[in-house]
Amino acid sequence: MSCLNQDVMDGLVTSVDWTKGQTAAATDVFLNAMRVANSDSLLDSIGTQMTVAAKVFTVTGGASGMGLAACRLLAQKGARAISIGDFNDKNFENVKQELNGINPDTAVETTQLDVSNSAQVAAWIDGVVTKFGALDDSLNAAGVPQRPPQSSGPSVLEETDESWRRTMAVNIDGVFYCCREQVRAMMTLPSAPRSIVNIASMGSFLHSGMMYGYGTSKSGVVHLSANLAQNLRPFNIHVNTVCPGATDTPMLDTFIPPSVR
Tell me how far apart the alpha carbons of residues 186 and 191 are, in angstroms, rounded to a whole number. 8
C-alpha 64/C-alpha 110 separation (Å) is 12
Catalytic annotation present for 218: yes
Contacts of residue 131, Cβ cutoff 8 Å, sequence gap at least 6:
109
- Specify whether 212 is catalytic: no
Asked if residues 141 and 196 have their Cβ atoms less than 8 Å apart, the reply is no
Contact 33, 197 (CB under 8 A): yes
CA-to-CA distance for 62 and 85, rounded, in angstroms?
6
Helices 65-76 and 92-102 pack at an angle, to 10 degrees, of: 30
Active-site entry in 55, 77, 177, 214: 214
Q: Which residues are catalytic?
A: 214, 218
